[in-house]
Amino acid sequence: MNNSSMNITVERSTRVSRVSTIVFCVAIVVLAGAPWWCPRGQLSMLVEFLYYLALAELWNLLAGYAGVMSLGSQGFIGLGGYSLFFFALLRGWHPLIALVLAGVVGLLVALPAVALILRLHGAYLAIASWVVAEVGRLAFTEVEALGRGSGKSLEVSIVRKLEFPFLTRDGTLYLLALVIAILTIALSYRLLCSKYGLALTSVRDNETSARSSGVNSFGLKFGVFVVTGAAMALVGALIYLTKLRISPASAFDINWTSNIIFIVIIGGIGTLEGPIVGTIVFFVLRQYLSDLGSWYLIILGALAVAIMLKMPRGLWGAFSSRFDVRLFPTRRCLVFLTSDHANAGSTNTRESALAAGSGEQS
């Protein structure tokens, strides 16, 4: 007679995710040393890649998980850039301090702006977010101290404050971009693995049902929108600390948001891996097709439409569904462990079933 017992546990990680964690840690160590082995031109490209990745992850958190389709990301990017110039150029503070304060300004502005925008829903919310960004653009065209519509440049003395005996200015900017991108991914993953991530997913999938279950949908959306707005302002400050010149037309350009949306849609909205894949695809396409002029934009648009029709969940979503691979698993699984004690060496068989609560787009 066989005596067996069954233990049930809840797990989130998989063998693939554990291996990918090791790979990512090794990659981070290698990338952290890039200022000392990477050529300057490629280092600048990596900085751009990292801040686009951070912006895409933030917009994905807002739209892919909170269900808030915003078209006003350029508003926070421009606000962060101008805040940096105000504190560093007009107040004379260290650019790193100005960078942090730009995020604080973004947080303070996001509080009333988001409270107003979230009174609307659907297309009206998207349009309202764009209108708020346009108001910001028009407002900064009237600020004489910051160059009005023609813009302003950072002085050389300010830029030199980013140079250290062991690190150049480009290296400092790169490490800042790397830290921001890593923190964006890590904190997003931490949030989605918590009870708030589960609540966000329920609000995205069916807000009425979530509210009937006791979820404070407005509070969740408000909190995520405010935090992502502050983070986008911080990234915007980094962008224009890199560019060294700012103007209302460039800082509040709708192309910032359109590029971010393209990256998330192509890669896979509602997944943490999607923006990574989308950013890689975006930069590869830009590298080889940007010389085609208007045809470059036509190809990007056609590719986006084709993927939305054939693969609504994006490249990573289709790949993940096909091979059941998740590098950042947020779904909880019930694991049944059955031990057969009839044999001298007990053997375990394992089965997994999806438990309630998935942080990924279904």
Q: Within its chain, how far is the Cα of 20 from the centroid?
A: 19
- Average pLDDT of the residues in 265-293: 92
In this structure, are residues 68 and 207 in contact, taking their beta carbons and an 8 Å threshold? no
* Among the ranges given (20-29, 48-57, 258-267), the one the predictor scored with the smallest mean pLDDT: 20-29
Give mean pLDDT, residues 147-174.
90
Q: Write down the pLDDT at residue 45.
A: 94
Please give the radius of gyration of the chain, using alpha carbons only, rounded to the nearest integer.
23
Q: Summarize the confidence of residues 228-254 as an average pLDDT.
A: 95
What is the pLDDT, as a whole number, of residue 5? 61
Q: What is the mean pLDDT of residues 77-99?
A: 94
Q: What is the pLDDT of residues 302-358, one digit of tens each?
A: 999 999 999 989 999 899 888 878 888 777 666 666 655 444 443 444 444 444 444
Determine the residue type at 125: L
Is a pLDDT exceeding 90 seen at residue 3?
A: no
Note the pLDDT tens digit of each residue in 242-255.
999 999 999 999 99
What is residue 354's predicted lDDT score, i.e. its pLDDT?
Answer: 43
Which DSSP category does 359 fall into?
-
Q: Is the dihedral of CA 322, 325, 326, 330 positive or negative?
A: positive
| H or E segment to which residue 225 belongs | helix 217-243
Average model confidence (pLDDT) across the chain: 87
Confidence of residue 214 (pLDDT cuts 50, 70, 90): confident
pLDDT at 347: 40
Q: Which of 174, 132, 154 is nearest to 45 (CA)?
A: 174
Amino acid at 91: R
Q: Is the dihedral of CA 232, 238, 242, 248 positive or negative?
A: positive
- For the whole model, what pTM was predicted? 0.89
| Sign of the CA dihedral with 13 first, then 279, 269, and 106 last | positive
How long a stretch of residues is the chain?
Answer: 362
Average of pLDDT values for 123-143?
Answer: 94
Predicted confidence (pLDDT) per residue in 161-184, tens digit: 998 888 899 999 999 999 999 999
**Range picked from 17-21, 65-69, 229-233, 289-293 for highest mean pLDDT:** 229-233
From the CB of residue 179, how many other CB atoms can be counted at a distance below 10 Å? 13
* Amino acid code (one letter) for 134: E
Task: Return the higher-pLDDT residue of 96 and 340.
Answer: 96
- The total of other beta-carbon atoms located within 10 Å of residue 334's CB is 14
Q: 229: Cβ–Cβ under 8 A, 6 or more apart, which residues? A: 76, 106, 107, 109, 110, 113, 114
Rounded-to-integer distance, Cα 35 and Cα 336, Å: 48
pLDDT confidence band for 193 (50 / 70 / 90): confident
Between 105-114, 225-234, 314-323, the lowest mean confidence (pLDDT) is in 314-323
d(CA 16, CA 320): 12
Q: Is the pLDDT of residue 88 over 90?
A: yes
CB-count exposure of residue 252 (10 Å: 0-12, 13-18, 19+): buried
Angle between helices 73-85 and 40-60 (to 10 degrees): 130
